[in-house]
């Protein structure tokens, strides 16, 4: 009769909330960009751009500034999620993620390539839901809500034993 001993489960590493949010925003941003870039393969897309139009819009400086501003929001959320204190971080993530849902749904307007843009929207929606859930469930204990940057700074101050 042989007995087997169960191996202990290795501890799950604790990932700070700010880092989880930043990773989710980075994932969202990659999808956001790729949906647009791969959309250039749609027949006629490049011709429209060369003719100075994207979908129903003329390509002007106002269009370019608007497109840049729209992409800056999730881009800045990557860094803001790591540097803002929890008191500001939680509501900012909740508001921005909630506002991006209808903005992303706008890509479904027009009905062209509904499967492609539908899949892109569904993937972005999943990541936005993760962001909303993570921000909503932010731990309330003072140890868990300490600033990520402060904890990293404090960890750097810990003296190490040199051999």
**124 and 28 Cβ atoms separated by less than 8 Å:** yes
CB atoms within 10 A of CB 92: 16
Region of 55 on the Ramachandran plot (φ > 0 left; ψ -120 to 50 alpha; else beta) = left
Indicate whether 163 pLDDT > 60: no
Compute CA 17 distance to the chain's CA centroid, rounded to the nearest angstrom: 13
- Say if residue 79's pLDDT is above 90: yes
The number of C-alpha atoms within 13 Å of 127 and in the hemisphere containing its C-beta is 22
DSSP string, the chain: ----PPPPPPPPPP--HHHHHHHHHHHHHHHHHHHHHHHTTSTTHHHHHHTTEETTEE--HHHHHHHHHHHHHHHHHHHHHHHS-HHHHHHHHHHHHHHHHHHHHGGGTT-TTHHHHHHHHHHHHHHHHHHHHHHHT---STTTTS-HHHHHHHHHHS-----
pLDDT of amino acid 14: 87
Q: Which pTM value belongs to this model?
A: 0.76
Residues 145, 139 contacting (CB under 8 angstroms): yes
pLDDT (0 to 100) of residue 108: 79
Residue 146 pLDDT level (bands cut at 50, 70, 90): low
pLDDT for 97 beyond 70: yes
Task: Express each pLDDT in 7-31 by its tens digit.
Answer: 777 777 789 999 999 999 999 999 9
Report d(CA 153, CA 98) in Å as an integer: 32
């Amino acid at each position: 009769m042989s007995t087997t001993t169960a191996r202990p489960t290795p501890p799950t590493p604790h990932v700070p909330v700010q880092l989880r949010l930043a990773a989710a925003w980075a994932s969202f941003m990659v999808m956001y960009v790729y949906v647009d870039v791969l959309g250039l393969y749609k027949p006629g897309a490049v011709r429209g751009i060369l003719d100075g139009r994207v979908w129903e819009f003329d390509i002007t400086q106002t269009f370019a500034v608007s497109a840049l501003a729209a992409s800056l929001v999730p881009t800045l959320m990557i860094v803001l999620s790591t540097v803002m204190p929890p008191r500001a971080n939680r509501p900012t993530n909740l508001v921005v993620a909630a506002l991006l849902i209808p903005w992303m749904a706008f890509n479904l307007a027009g009905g062209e390539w509904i499967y492609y843009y539908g899949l892109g929207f569904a993937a972005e929606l999943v990541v936005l839901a993760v962001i909303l859930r993570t921000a909503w469930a932010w731990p309330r204990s003072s140890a868990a809500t300490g600033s990520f940057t402060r904890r990293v700074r404090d960890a750097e101050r810990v003296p190490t034993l040199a051999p």
